[in-house]
A and B are shown apart, each in its own frame.
Chain A
Amino acid sequence: MDEASASQAHTAGAFSRRQFLRGLGTTAVTAAALGSTLRGASTAPAKNDDARSASAAPLALKVNGELRTLTLEPRVTLLEAIRVHAGLTGPKETCDRGTCGACTVLLDGMPVYACMMLAVEGQGREVTTIEGISRDGLTPLQQAFVEHDGLQCGYCTPGFVMSLTALLKKNPRPTETEVRGACAGHLCRCGSYPKIFAAALAASART
């Protein structure tokens, strides 16, 4: 699709075919979302896609398996989209520069800094927040955080939990060095690190 039709598609509240298909492959989309998406779906790939003006326009984000259409300027970060526009306040804004990890979410299962990505880049990807892994009570990792007191003020906690969740999925029996490595992108000003490491190792032994 050319740039002009791409922007038209966006005023109609759609996203590109590629992204739509990728979204479909993973989790079912609600009928309402399907309807609004199909209307704008393009037919042929071209040299440029998804052209957006600087103004706010609808954008589809799949967060915790749920497709949401949010109206955002391209300069809105993924973190702001999640916290302010989707109302999921588990990921925290602390440094806003990709250094503290409190905003960490999983993007197709990988930990990333939501503050250092634009929301538009989250299109067609699976975004998982702390809320998304906490729907059925506490995971063994979260339970271990509670028991070992792997937190104090708790502001950094959702971020640590996300990175460690990704670690344990990939590597269910990590060493303490691997746990520290997985946490390297996080800061805890209260200094809960020793108990965070202990919680991760305990959860690993339990699963």
Chain B
Amino acid sequence: MNAFGYVTARTPAAAIEAVRDDGRFLAGGQDLLGELKESLVSPKTLVNIKSLPETAEVRREGATWSIGANVTLAMIAAHIELHRAFPALAEAAAEVGSPQIRNVATIGGNLAQHSRCWYYRHRDVRCRKKGGSTCFARGGESKYHSLFTGSMCLSPCVSNLAIAFAAGDAQVVVQRGRRTERLTIAELYADAWRTAAAHNSLRADDLILRVELPVTTRRSTYLQVAEKGDFDWALVSCAAAAKVDGTRVSDVRLVLGAVAPVPWQVAEAGAFLEGKEITRETADRAAEIVLRGARPLGDNAYKLPIAKALMRRALLKLVAPA
């Protein structure tokens, strides 16, 4: 860890100003401290954003849930009304890390977290994401890597919350300079799809303020498979949401995590399911649409059957009697 200064910001504007001099925002720090310890980043200043006003609350404002950037994952996992309204989010939050991590890790930090690719995280490997010329996962150890990518980097999006938020059509409210902008989850990660060096579409001085989740009558769920029973990264994760009438669904969102640098969503799959009954067959058909064009590497083809099983289970769970 290099030496750095530290400041606690009281307003978004002050935070952005302070971070511009080669700084990094510090919220829960569970991702950033790891990067600092491996010397992957060496900022001059850490800007503590935990004291920004109104960022640690969950509020219902009309047709929107407003979830502050500093709301912790533990708060989300334990929020009864939110859990009732959109279970996928609480379920996704509960699968993040461990109790110790969830007690401090924030919504904003989870969305903005950097790649967990073991080449990227390695102090002595200079991969594409770090500006090097090689993606070591290609022809190397690609077990945890993407099935889809739009760039030379294979590092997948591993934010559980991004997957759940994508299924909920959430928008991320970002302070960008003097403007406040709303990004869809797809927009939040679009750059990671296109650009090997990008983790997401945020600029260094973009500050996530909150996430807005539309109040919905859609049911939702989040499922994941990892190698260990708890406290492990998902090999594949899946969030699904839909309006349910008996076993018939409409307005379906089906999103996969850990298979692409972005939350992986194929609109055609939702269109296919529109108005259909969820059966093993229709679910599998939708899953095939989502996975169409996947390009597995040497070690990660196994993600395909897992993804398919998760999508089927998630859809069947949505239509299962409560």
Contact = CB atoms under 8 A, between A and B. Distances in A.
Give yes or no for direct A-B contact (beta carbon below 8 Å). Answer: yes
Interface of A: 3, 6, 16, 45-55, 73-75, 77, 96-99, 101, 104, 107, 110-113, 116-118, 120-121, 163, 180-182, 184-186
Contact of B6 (A110, A113, A118, A182): A118
A46 B33 CA distance: 27
B133 interface: no
Contacts of B231: 99, 184-185
Interface of B: 1-11, 13-14, 18, 26, 29-30, 33-34, 36-37, 44, 46, 48, 50-51, 74, 97-101, 103-104, 230-231
A117 B51 contact: no
A47 B37 contact: no
Contacts of B230: 180-181, 184
Q: What 3 A-B pairs have minimum CB-CB distances, sorted nearest first?
A: A185-B98, A47-B14, A74-B6
Nearest to B38: A97
A61 B26 CA distance: 19
Nearest to B51: A49
B2 A75 contact: yes
A101 B3 contact: no
Given A47-B14, A121-B29, A185-B98, 8 more contacts: A3-B7, A46-B10, A48-B14, A52-B7, A98-B101, A116-B101, A121-B50, A181-B99
A53 B26 CA distance: 16
6 contacts: A3-B7, A16-B8, A49-B7, A51-B8, A74-B4, A75-B3
Contact of B9 (A48, A73, A101, A184): A48
Contacts of A101: 98, 100
Contact of A48 (B8, B33, B74, B104): B8
Nearest to B18: A48
A74 B9 CA distance: 15
B11 A117 contact: no
A48 to B, nearest CB: 5
B46 A74 contact: yes
